[in-house]
Structure 1
Amino acid sequence: MGSPRRSAAVLAAATLLMTGCGLQSASTFTPDAAAGEIEPIGSVEGAPITVGAKNFTEQLILGKIAVIALQVAGFDVTDRSGIPGAAPARAAMLEGETDMQWEYTGTGWINYLGMGEGIPDEDAQWAAVRDADAENGITWLPPAEANNTYAFAVRSEAVDELGGVATLSDIAALPVEERTFCLESEFATRVDGFEPMLEAYGIPLGDPQGVPRDNISILDTGAVYTATDEGESCNFGEVFTTDGRIASLDLTVLEDDLGYFPAYNISPIVLTETLEEYPEIADVFAEITPRLTDEVMIELNGRVDVGGEDPAEVALDWLVSEGLVTRG
């Protein structure tokens, strides 16, 4: 698909974001599927569409859900799963490299649109990012109930050892040497990430009386969960609230009692010109999105991260279980 017209500044920024990154595919495998509640749409038969997905479990599952559903509907789908991070994923949309992705409302509002603060109300957050991103040629379709926001967790057996810690505010009452954190690299540098969070909770990064930089470990996403469970590198680990490893490792999620993190509801986003040409895309996702709850995503993510299943097979199993498609 061709990209919408953009200002030179936006295009230049997108080009810089894509430099050296490219679009990667974690797996080109997509299992065969046939019609269920989603049926072939004659008007889109053979129409090309490119689906993007970032390179973490939930995105890979959602990406495959989109690929399978759109293929069953009749589109000729190019799968671009595994885009390495939020910035290149955004750039892919702005450059027209992808026509559709799943995105998070808070990420769109703060990271992509540069707004200073998130909006706690989930519906208001979606409406705000939908309206603001329209001028960039991107349409945000209605969001899912699933809200994959950031959080911090602690191994459950350490809760009492740390004075019954239950909220992020409780961390400020701990001795400095107990304020140890494991993070992934992207969260450590996001404008809605770690350092602003510490500021909000009155324990600034780099302050000897706040959180010294030596108290921070930067790890791969999976290693953050393992390290938090082991409690050697850190007491508190950055987690995603729909991640299946939270329950499997018996981690306790701390309450964001000051409401720092905005809503991060999952929403399908589509290039507006693509959607105008093929409005049936919205009908396909209207069948899928309302079924995506926190509980569903926790289960699906756990099947991959804990059970070791393939994201594509997990995606197909869920679509079949919902009656949306059948096995091909």
Structure 2
Amino acid sequence: MAISRRWFNQACLGVAAALLAAACGGGSGDDVISVGSKDFTEQLIIGEMYALVLEENGFTVERKLNLGGTPVAQAAIESGDIDLYPEYTGTALLTVLNLPASSDQQAVFDTVQQAYQAQFNLVWLDPSPMNNTQALAMTEERADALNIRTISDFAAQASSLTLIGPPEFEVREDGLPGLKSAYGDFSLADYKAVDAGLRYRGLVDGEADVAVAFGTDGEINAFNLVVLEDDEGLFPPYQVAPVVRQTTLEANPGIADALNQVSPLLNDDVMRQLNYEVSGNQREPADVAREFLVNAGLVTD
């Protein structure tokens, strides 16, 4: 997804934005809270939201956004290089903890919450209702023409369909191998492996019938796409939540109350719109995050 050079340079250099709120402050005064994020649009937006809300509540914040993928972010929080960052329950379950997939949203959250506390001394705060799970999407016209609304429908016609998506989907446990295990050992007409940013353009231009999607991608709303129902419950939930070092919370207990104000506001439609403001309309993640929080009344303009 598109990120401006200015944002990229700022994020990679970890430019600190330290603002002290003059009023009531939830911060402890001397502590600097390091907020991290991974290296894609949604993470940049949510990481900036966490930073802005903490600043609004009196904390001094250092931004260490755009760190990299999951292993980098996990290593950073374990080492104390960052104090908190947004993480997904499904990623924690499969990638960090290497546990079996589950489609039970509450069970997945309970599992990762308990395991992170026990193994890493990390705390999961309140999860958002949004679910950035993997999915399959089609244009409305193509879905109507083929009468496809579920992944079972897709699997039944797979031999005549072209699927477009990132290369790793061909080998992931919750990618093609998982689909074939859950929905029958079907064969595709073709799988077009492309950079993640090219999936939707290829779909809309007719190069493929179905695209690998993520539930909060902005292009789903922008292109009026149909997300196929995962009727066999293959894909695990990917709710996002702040993950915070226990020692940081103990020293700064107001962090939980501040960040838990953000979580309930982030549902699928909201995140799709915010993501598209960056990926489609080429706006800065920081501007999109601030505008949303100002409108929500959590940050003063």
Does the 8 Å contact 2:19/2:59 carry over to 1?
no
1:124 is displaced (CA, Å) by: 2.5
TM-score (norm 1): 0.80
What letter matches 1:94 in structure 2? E
Residue 192 of structure 1 corresponds to which residue in structure 2?
174
Does structure 2 retain, via aligned residues, the 8 Å contact 1:46–1:74? no
Residues 199-278 of structure 1 mapped to structure 2, 5 A cutoff: 199-203=181-185, 210-211=187-188, 215-232=190-207, 234-278=208-252
**Could you tell me which residue of structure 1 aligns to residue 294 of structure 2?**
320
CA distance in 2, matches of 1:241, 1:27: 30
CA distance in 1, matches of 2:268, 2:293: 16
**Equivalent residues in 2 for 1:23-62, closer than 5 Å:** 25=11, 40-41=24-25, 43-62=27-46
1:91 offset after TM fit, Å? 2.3
**1:94 Cα deviation (Å)?**
2.4
User: Offset of 1:211 from its aligned partner?
Assistant: 3.6
Tell me, in whole angstroms, the C-alpha distance in 2 between the residues paired with 1:222 and 1:40.
43
Describe the shift of the 1:35–1:300 C-alpha distance in structure 2 as closer, same or farther (beyond 3 A).
farther
Q: 1:210 is aligned with what amino acid?
A: S
Aligned partner letter, 2:35? V
Report the CA distance between 1:192 and its aligned residue.
3.1
**Equivalent position of 1:96 in the other structure:** 80
Q: Supply the distance in 2 between the matched residues of 1:186 and 1:93 (Cα, whole angstroms).
A: 26
Counterpart for residue 150 of structure 1: 134
Return 5+ residue gaps in structure 1 as ranges.
Answer: 1-23, 204-208
The answer to whether the 8 A contact 2:158-2:187 is kept is no
Q: Which amino acid aligns with 1:171?
A: F
Amino acid at match of 1:217: K
Deviation at 1:29, TM superposition (A): 7.5
Instruction: Name which of 147, 154, 165 aligns with 1:164.
Output: 147
Give, in whole Å, the separation in 1 of the partners of 2:113 and 2:206. 40
Taking the aligned partners of 1:44 and 1:188, their CA distance within structure 2 comes to: 48
Matched with 2:110 is: 127
Q: Is the 8 A contact 1:153 1:236 kept in 2?
A: yes
Q: Offset of 1:324 from its aligned partner? A: 0.8
CA distance 1:95–1:311, shift in 2 (3 Å): same
Q: Per-residue deviation at 1:27?
A: 8.2
Partner AA of 2:269 in structure 1: E
For the residues of structure 1 that align with 2:194 and 2:131, how far apart are their CA atoms? 24
Equivalent of 1:141, from 89, 109, 125? 125
Task: Write out per-residue CA displacement over residues 84-129 of structure 1, whole angstroms, 9 at most, x where no aligned residue.
Answer: 22222222222322211111111111221111122x3322221121
- Measure the CA separation in 1 of the matches of 2:133 and 2:249: 27
- Judging changes above 3 Å, is the alpha-carbon distance between structure 1 residues 53 and 185 closer, same or farther for their aligned structure 2 residues? farther
How many residue pairs align between the two structures?
A: 292
**Once the 2 structures are TM-superposed, how far is the Cα of residue 292 of structure 1 from its aligned partner?**
1.7
Equivalent pair of 1:111/1:192 in contact (CA under 8 Å): no
Q: For the Cα contact (< 8 Å) 1:33–1:325, is it kept in 2?
A: no
Q: Contact 2:49 / 2:290 at 8 angstroms: preserved in 1? A: yes
Mapped contact 1:35–1:326 kept (Cα < 8 A): no
Question: Structure 1's 276 and 318: CA in aligned 2 closer, same or farther, altered over 3 A?
Answer: same
- Could you tell me which runs of 5 or more consecutive residues in structure 2 were left unpaired when the two chains were aligned: 1-9
Contact 1:55 1:84 survives alignment (8 Å): yes
Q: Which amino acid aligns with 1:281?
A: I
Corresponding position of 2:6: none
Q: Does 1:108 align with 2:92?
A: yes
C-alpha distance in structure 2 between counterparts of 1:142 and 1:323, whole Å = 19
Residue 26 of structure 1, CA deviation:
5.5
| CA shift in 2, pair 1:82/1:319, >3 Å | same
SS in 1 for 2:116: helix
How has the CA–CA distance of structure 1 residues 276 and 121 changed in structure 2, closer, same or farther, with 3 Å as cutoff?
same
Equivalent residue in structure 1 for 2:157, among 166, 171, 174? 174
Please, what TM-score do these two structures have when normalized by structure 2? 0.87
1:152 partner amino acid: L
Q: Which residue of 2 aligns with 1:8?
A: none
Match of residue 10 from structure 1:
none
Q: Which amino acid aligns with 2:191?
A: I
Question: Do the aligned partners of residues 231 and 141 (structure 1) sit closer, same or farther apart at CA in structure 2, a change above 3 Å counting?
Answer: same
Q: C-alpha separation between the residues in 1 aligned to 2:269 and 2:19?
A: 24
The residue aligned with 1:282 is 256
In 2, distance between residues paired with 1:33 and 1:319? 17
Per-residue CA deviation, residues 33-54 of structure 1 (Å, 9 max, x unaligned), is 8969xx6526522412211111
